[in-house]
């Protein structure tokens, strides 16, 4: 007996338990318990049996008894798979030709069905039950809430609410928001056997198969021919965005959950596996090595962005299904939530997708992504390489109509919903070519000499570009960039309003502000442009100018930044940068450091995925408290990656934010998570 008890206690430390806890975020210090109970025996002959059953079908949610048993066997025999178990009911038996429990032991079966009903009424949830029949007498060994697929979770919740077993709020609480991902993207058919070659981070959910390509241009070219490709890179940069768009999925050897590849792929709803460190990618040689195997451009692979796995060959897929129960639960969630849910979108396609998923506006449009399109990148480069303001203005004039058209389309799609557009943010050198061959091509296209171009590239080179010449610093040094963007936004708003007959209220967001004066300088530039567009168009513009709060100083000085009529009209927390700057940990270099920290239990979760509530969260709280103290009722949102993370959303509810903004495919997750957070908050109060 003591041996058995000790074995259970020591099982807390076995590798399976460790990985289960890490997967389900169960704290190490909880420990386990041992229940000692009298044995019953299912192996006393043909009048005895043992089995496992669910009170409803755990994969479809159907309200139908589901399970298996073995005659003349003891408990673990069913689970261990030594003998093939038999179905409980005749329905399952018909397919397998086996005898079912209801036929073999009708009395025990009838009692089991009765008890199942009672257990469900008592626990008010679907149960996973183990039972033993000893010489014709039924014993229950244990019962617990059963694990289920997302599809089943939705159906069981909706059915139980209809049966009056649970309330609608409880139904909403029963569905795991993160698991909605399973419904929104194609998934790998779990029954299929696959050839695993590497494992990285599950950066953007969904599965995709396609030919390996190593260059963004190639991805586009093959896609244009109707072929599915997986873009494989050591890491991606903004130059690859068009290739990521063209690809069915993205695989990188470096980078973490907020790396460029991860953020952009999530935004596009492209499956992505990032940081698959065991892969050796040599784009120039056109090879990807996985251990002893070498894959070349054109070889087919499959990635699963839901679990970070990479397979050789094409895996069998299942298409996404948005069933009626999904819509029902989302409707109940929308009734329950307080916070609004917006989306991070910078293309018409993302914006439409997000609206389909229920987004209530755009919380972040990253304008830089619009600059990478093939037709524009040349003008952007010309602007960056220009000798003087005059030269820059000439190139910006070429960009203006294109930006205006971008915004006009976004405003139209969002049909009167709020749209927050952020001024250019990234370091300028991201737009310039990095390889010699490409630099020569760009110099030729610009009609400038290579030496001049390279000098400019060298000038813009930075040791820490993430903390360098970016954000509002760009607009302060080159006001003409801000002026062009503001003009494009206002003219786009006027045009969209004329077209749709519905007023557009643009919101212009200034990134990377640390000082009130930075905000003032750019606000003044924006207001001046607004005035001239009003004069030119005869339309009175209603717009807001807000700031990202993404630097610790901005959080601390939030009162100063919001203060007065000329202060920020609202805030949006950029928790990606706020996490990076508060922790002093670069987003792009964090992955190996964080995985080591999590292994050593210095951190429980990746702070770029789930907000560090006690540290970075305190900055969010300070920022919103001070902002609202200066400007009562100040609207405050969040548009970092945390805006789509359920645990972070629970924190933002408590912090009293007005909205979260996340990538389109996370919008349903955020709607559900925001509802759950609001329900929990109401419960706490009552
Ligand atoms: C942020 O910093 O949280 C943010 C949304 O901006 P970006 O990720 O573009 O830096
Ligand atoms: Mg930022």
Helix H, strand E, coil C: the string for 554-620 is: HHHCHHHHHCCCCCCCEEEECHHHHHHHHHCCCCCCHHHHHHHHHHCCCCCCCCCCCCCCCCHHHHH
Q: Which ligand has its closest atom nearest to the C-alpha of 662?
A: 1
Residue tagged 């289960």 (tokens): 20
- Residues in the ligand 1 pocket, defined by CB under 6 Å: 364, 366, 425, 550, 574-577, 639-640
Domain 185-318's class? alpha beta
| Angular region, 564: left φ>0, alpha ψ -120 to 50, beta rest | left
Cα(644) to centroid(ligand 2), Å = 16
pLDDT for residue 261: 81
- Ligand 1, atom 9, lies closest to the CA of 366
Top pLDDT among 394 and 184 is at: 394
Which residue among 185, 242, 245, 260 is the active-site one? Answer: 260
Residues of the chain with CATH 3.20.20.60: 337-685
pLDDT for residue 27: 84
Cα(577) to centroid(ligand 1), Å = 6
Helix (H) or strand (E) holding 327: helix 324-336
pLDDT for residue 579: 98
Contact call for residues 541 and 533 (beta carbons, < 8 A)? yes
Handedness of CA 472, 473, 474, 479 (dihedral sign): positive
pLDDT for residue 435: 82
Top pLDDT among 433 and 675 is at: 675
pLDDT for residue 231: 97
pLDDT digits over 532-547, tens only? 999 999 999 999 999 9
Q: In which band, very low, low, confident or very high, does the pLDDT at 316 lie, cut at 50, 70 and 90?
A: confident
Q: Cα(228)–Cα(247) distance, rounded to whole angstroms?
A: 7
- Ligand 1, atom 8, lies closest to the CA of 576
Q: Which two tokens stand for residue 59?
A: 């994969």
pLDDT for residue 311: 95
pLDDT for residue 568: 98
pLDDT digits over 378-395, tens only? 889 989 988 899 999 999
pLDDT for residue 641: 95
pLDDT digits over 578-609, tens only? 999 999 999 888 888 998 998 888 998 899 99
CA angle 599, 600, 601 (to 5 degrees): 90
Cα(304) to centroid(ligand 1), Å = 25
Q: In which band, very low, low, confident or very high, does the pLDDT at 152 lie, cut at 50, 70 and 90?
A: confident
Cα(423) to centroid(ligand 1), Å = 12
Q: In which band, very low, low, confident or very high, does the pLDDT at 57 lie, cut at 50, 70 and 90?
A: confident
- Ligand 1, atom 6, lies closest to the CA of 574
pLDDT digits over 85-106, tens only? 788 887 756 655 778 999 999 9
Q: In which band, very low, low, confident or very high, does the pLDDT at 526 lie, cut at 50, 70 and 90?
A: very high
Centroid of chain to Cα 111: 46
Cα(253) to centroid(ligand 1), Å = 22
pLDDT exceeds cutoff 80 at 686: no
Give 520-566 as a DSSP string. HHHHHHHHHHHHHHHHHH------EEEEEE-SHHHHHTHHHHH-STT
pLDDT exceeds cutoff 60 at 632: yes
Top pLDDT among 122 and 81 is at: 122
- 260 part of the active site: yes
- Ligand 1, atom 4, lies closest to the CA of 574
pLDDT digits over 400-415, tens only? 999 999 999 999 999 8
pLDDT for residue 148: 81
Q: Considering the entire predicted model, what is its pTM?
A: 0.81
> Which of 344, 554, 640 for mutating ligand 1's site (highest number of atoms within 8 Å of CB)?
640
pLDDT exceeds cutoff 90 at 364: yes
The topology (CATH level 3) of 37-146 is D-amino Acid Aminotransferase; Chain A, domain 1 (3.30.470)
Which CATH homologous superfamily contains domain 337-685? Phosphoenolpyruvate-binding domains (3.20.20.60)
Q: In which band, very low, low, confident or very high, does the pLDDT at 14 lie, cut at 50, 70 and 90?
A: confident
pLDDT for residue 449: 85
Q: Span 101-125, mean pLDDT? A: 94
Q: Cα(564)–Cα(49) distance, rounded to whole angstroms?
A: 77
Atom of ligand 1 nearest to the CA of 550: 2
- Ligand 1, atom 5, lies closest to the CA of 640
Q: Which ligand has its closest atom nearest to the C-alpha of 365?
A: 1
Q: In which band, very low, low, confident or very high, does the pLDDT at 191 lie, cut at 50, 70 and 90?
A: low
pLDDT digits over 460-508, tens only? 888 888 899 999 999 999 999 999 999 999 999 999 999 988 889 999 9
pLDDT exceeds cutoff 80 at 613: yes
pLDDT for residue 92: 59
pLDDT exceeds cutoff 60 at 81: no
Residues of the chain with CATH 3.50.30.10: 185-318
Q: In which band, very low, low, confident or very high, does the pLDDT at 60 lie, cut at 50, 70 and 90?
A: confident
pLDDT digits over 211-262, tens only? 999 999 999 899 888 899 999 999 888 778 889 989 999 999 987 766 678 7
pLDDT for residue 205: 78
- 24 part of the active site: no
| Mean pLDDT taken over the chain | 91
Percent of the chain with pLDDT over 70: 96
Q: In which band, very low, low, confident or very high, does the pLDDT at 639 lie, cut at 50, 70 and 90?
A: very high
Contacts (Cβ under 8 Å, ≥6 apart) of 656? 624, 636
> Which of 364, 367, 576, 611 for mutating ligand 1's site (highest number of atoms within 8 Å of CB)?
576
Cα(276) to centroid(ligand 2), Å = 25
Q: Which ligand has its closest atom nearest to the C-alpha of 641?
A: 1
Beta bridge partners of 127: 145
């Amino acid at each position: 007996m003591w041996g058995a008890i000790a074995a259970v206690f020591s099982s807390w430390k076995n590798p399976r338990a460790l990985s289960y806890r890490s997967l389900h975020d169960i704290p190490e210090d909880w420990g386990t318990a041992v229940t000692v109970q009298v044995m019953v025996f299912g192996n006393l002959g043909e009048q005895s049996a043992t089995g496992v059953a669910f009170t409803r079908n755990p994969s479809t949610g159907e309200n139908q008894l589901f399970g298996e048993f073995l005659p003349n066997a003891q408990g673990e025999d069913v689970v261990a798979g030594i003998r093939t178990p038999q179905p409980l009911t005749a329905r399952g038996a018909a397919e397998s030709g086996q005898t079912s429990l209801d036929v073999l032991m009708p009395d025990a079966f009838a009692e089991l069905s009765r008890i199942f009903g009672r257990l469900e009424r008592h626990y008010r949830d679907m149960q996973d039950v183990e039972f033993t029949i000893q010489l014709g007498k039924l014993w229950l060994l244990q019962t617990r809430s059963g694990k289920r697929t997302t599809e089943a979770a939705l159906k069981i919740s909706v059915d139980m609410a209809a049966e009056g077993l649970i309330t609608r709020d409880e139904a909403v609480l029963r569905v795991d928001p993160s698991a909605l991902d399973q419904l929104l993207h194609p998934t790998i058919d779990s029954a299929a056997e696959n050839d695993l070659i590497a494992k990285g981070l599950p950066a953007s959910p969904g599965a995709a198969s396609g030919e390996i390509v190593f260059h963004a241009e190639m991805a586009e070219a093959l896609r244009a021919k109707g072929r599915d490709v997986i873009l494989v890179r050591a890491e991606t940069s903004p130059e690859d965005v068009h290739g990521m768009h063209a690809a069915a999925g993205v695989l990188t050897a470096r980078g973490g959950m907020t790396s460029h590849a991860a953020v952009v792929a999530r935004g596009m709803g492209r499956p992505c596996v990032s940081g698959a460190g065991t892969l050796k990618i040599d784009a120039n040689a056109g090879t990807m090595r996985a251990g002893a195997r070498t894959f070349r451009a054109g070889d087919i692979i499959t990635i699963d962005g839901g679990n970070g796995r990479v397979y050789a060959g094409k895996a069998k897929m299942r298409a996404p299904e948005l069933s009626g129960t999904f819509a029902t639960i989302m409707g109940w969630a929308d009734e329950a939530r307080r916070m609004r849910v917006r989306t991070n979108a910078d293309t018409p396609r993302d914006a439409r997708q997000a609206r389909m998923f229920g987004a209530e506006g755009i919380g972040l449009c990253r304008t830089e992504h619009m600059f990478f399109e093939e037709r524009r990148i040349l003008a952007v480069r010309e602007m960056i390489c220009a000798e003087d303001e005059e030269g820059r203005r000439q190139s910006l004039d070429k960009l203006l109509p294109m930006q205006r058209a971008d915004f006009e389309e976004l405003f139209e799609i969002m049909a009167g919903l709020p749209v927050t557009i952020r001024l250019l943010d990234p370091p300028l050198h991201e737009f310039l070519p990095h390889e010699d061959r490409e630099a020569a091509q760009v110099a030729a296209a610009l009609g400038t000499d290579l030496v001049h171009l390279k000098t400019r590239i060298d000038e813009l080179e930075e040791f820490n570009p993430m903390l360098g010449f970016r954000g509002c610093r760009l607009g302060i040094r080159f006001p003409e960039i801000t002026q062009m963007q503001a003009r494009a936004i206002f003219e786009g708003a006027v045009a969209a309003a004329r077209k749709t007959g519905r007023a557009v209220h643009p919101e212009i967001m200034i990134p990377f502000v640390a000082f009130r004066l930075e905000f003032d300088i750019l606000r003044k530039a924006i207001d001046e442009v607004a005035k001239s567009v009003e004069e030119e168009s005869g339309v009175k513009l209603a717009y807001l100018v807000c700031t990202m709060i993404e630097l610790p100083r901005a959080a601390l000085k939030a009162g100063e930044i919001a203060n007065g009529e000329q202060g920020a009209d609202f805030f949006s927390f950029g928790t990606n940068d706020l996490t990076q700057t508060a922790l002093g940990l670069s987003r792009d270099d964090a992955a190996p450091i964080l995985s080591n920290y999590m292994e050593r239990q210095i951190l429980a979760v990746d702070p770029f995925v789930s907000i560090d509530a006690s540290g970075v969260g305190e900055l969010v709280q300070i920022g919103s408290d001070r902002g609202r103290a200066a400007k009562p009722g100040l609207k405050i949102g969040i548009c970092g990656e945390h805006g789509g993370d359920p645990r972070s959303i629970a924190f933002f509810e408590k912090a009293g934010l007005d909205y979260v903004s996340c990538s389109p495919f996370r919008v349903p997750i955020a709607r559900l998570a925001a509802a759950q957070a609001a329900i929990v908050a109401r419960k706490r109060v009552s």
